[in-house]
Structure 1
Amino acid sequence: MALFQETADVSVRPAVAGDEEAVTRIQVEAWRTTHADVLGGAVDALDTAAMTERWADAIRRPPGPGFGVLVALDGPVVVGFAAVAPGQVMSLEVVPHARRSGHGSRLLAAAVDRLRTDGESEVVTWVLDGDEGRERFLSSSGLGPDGTERSLATGVRDVVERRWSASI
């Protein structure tokens, strides 16, 4: 009798045409779950059709070298994504029910690998004020706040983001 050991069917791959709907859904659900108190009604006011089109463009026609979108899969289902630009992880979200399953770590590792391949020596990302879960995740991944912050107007209220970075 052969022994069978189950392994998780999880992976990260470059996003392809058709992934934009899942990316939009994940982004909205993640923002609604994580940032409702900071963003208020701004999440409910999002134009998801326009977001989907922007993600489709980013996936099909990146604006230049060093830009890309990666997706995390649990089996055949897209459960997270990361968007990279030269030197930056612009966005990294995992659908709330799939958090703490390694998807974020796999996405961040793939994003950093992509940045290294593009010749980058540092990674930066931005953390919305009050996102303690993301701060713990980034800290455990070797990133830290570098003292830079910016204020963003959401249309409902201004919010503060802090930059986190690490040498890679």
Structure 2
Amino acid sequence: MAEASVRLAEPSDAVEIARIQVTTWRAAYRDLLPADVLDALDGAEAEETWRHTIEQGPARVFVATEGPWHVGFVAAGMSPQDESAAADGTPVPDADQVALVSTLLVEPRWGRRGHGGRLLAAASAAMRKDGLARGISWVAEADKASMGFWGLAGWAADGTVRTLDAGGRPLREVRMTGTLSLELEK
């Protein structure tokens, strides 16, 4: 394997981050989302959104590379209180210490090479430096690959679910939670 690394994203990475997002969603979510939703994904719009996020937040964005190629990315930051709240909407006692990993994607052709773990570890380290201790992420319940990834990272479903309107089709998501004190196996 070529040299793999993770680094903080720069505005110039937005075009590759958008490409990875569109490519990954169209491949990995073709059974979860309607075709017209996937066909309507706009790379230029995604690029502008990611450039704004990289430059102004609220999340920090990290990119994974292998050799000269961008292969994945993660976005994480302080969780809004409504995202970390209990299922009944009650704020959790540690709300000021919860990070939201809003997106973690590795392009399918680069999967199973450790990039996802490196991305999560880098984001977790940054969030710990910000005083956060626990993370959450929303994962499509039917996305078995992602559910497996989070489980291998030691995260588990916390019993909170939500259903989104995915182009007229319901998409059930499970909230995963776990520690930000992650160690990669050598």
**Please, what TM-score do these two structures have when normalized by structure 2?**
0.81
Q: Please give the alpha-carbon distance, in whole angstroms, between the structure 2 residues aligned to 1:135 and 1:158.
A: 18
State the 1:135 CA deviation: 1.0
Q: State the partner residue of 1:72.
A: 64
State the 1:61 CA deviation: 1.7
Q: Please give the alpha-carbon distance, in whole angstroms, between the structure 2 residues aligned to 1:26 and 1:47.
A: 12
State whether structure 2 residue 95 is matched by structure 1 residue 83.
no
Aligned structure 1 segments of 4 or more residues deviating by more than 6 angstroms: none
* Post-superposition CA distance 1:91-149 (Å, at most 9, x none): 00001110000101100111111111111111111111211111111111100000111
Structure 2: unaligned runs, 5 residues or longer: 79-98, 181-186
For the aligned residue pairs, the C-alpha RMSD in angstroms reads 1.3
State the 1:152 CA deviation: 1.3
Number of residue-to-residue matches in the alignment:
159
Q: Please give the alpha-carbon distance, in whole angstroms, between the structure 1 residues aligned to 2:63 and 2:119.
A: 7
Q: Please give the alpha-carbon distance, in whole angstroms, between the structure 2 residues aligned to 1:28 and 1:147.
A: 29
State the 1:156 CA deviation: 3.6
Matches within 5 A, 1:4-83: 8-41=2-35, 42-63=37-58, 67-83=59-75
Matches within 5 A, 1:19-168: 19-41=13-35, 42-63=37-58, 67-86=59-78, 87-168=99-180
Q: Would you say the 8 A contact 1:121–1:167 is kept in 2? A: yes
Structure 1: unaligned runs, 5 residues or longer: 1-6
Q: Percent identity?
A: 40
Q: Please give the alpha-carbon distance, in whole angstroms, between the structure 2 residues aligned to 1:161 and 1:85.
A: 19
State the 1:73 CA deviation: 0.6
